[in-house]
Amino acid sequence: MLKKLELENHLPLIAILRGIEPAEVLDAAKVLTEEGFTMIEVPLNSPEALNSIKLLADSYVDTDSNKYLVGAGTVTTLAEAEAVIDTGANLVVTPNLNIDVIKAAVQANCVCFPGIVTPSEAFSALAAGASGLKLFPASQVAYAGFKALKSVLPVGTLCFPVGGINAQSESMKPWLDIGANGFGLGAALYSAGMSMTQLRENAASFVAALNTAR
């Protein structure tokens, strides 16, 4: 079972396509992958989200290589997790800690990033087999909170702040300096109805900002 994400094989930026329609999801994925993205999530509160996720899974999931990780965000129940797994997705991201969701995702060989804020949530998520931790909302965890949390987490724990990250190195560097491994990117990368030209510009800006911040 895939419990640990080998991050060196991936650009450590998760594209969050909240609000995207099935008719445009493959166009968006093409833009993102051409700009270097390898991890894409469609939140389940997007229109016909499972259809979009299945399109992504059919096009990008290779169980032998896991070159691309595509799947769902905002997965809050076991039933939702099972529906996502049924699409063939290999990425499950949650806004909260739900042990049943984590265990189902790991059992299905999916990378799973549960949302956590507290040390108790973090350790419970890892004990259940989470691939890494989504610090959400990042503004609530804050730099000081994450620095303290990181000091007690097992060495090598992957941590991705999500919420409020923008395409400037100054937005990323403070997190990276205290141990963040990457970021989940929401509205600053994509918003519903955005043109593919704008998405490409945003994606390129985030990659450049990450490289500068590193």
Which secondary-structure segment (H or E) carries 9? none
Residue 134 designated active-site? yes
Compute φ and ψ for 155, nearest 5 degrees: -60, 135
CB 57 within 8 A of CB 71: yes
Which of 134, 147, 170, 201 is flagged as catalytic?
Answer: 134
Residues β-bridged to residue 14 = 39, 184
Cα 44 to Cα 213: distance, rounded to the nearest angstrom: 31
Catalytic-role residue among 35, 41, 54, 80? 41
Q: Measuring CA to CA, which residue among 23, 54, 36 is closest to residue 200?
A: 36
Cα separation, 91 vs 71, whole angstroms: 4
Catalytic residues: 41, 134
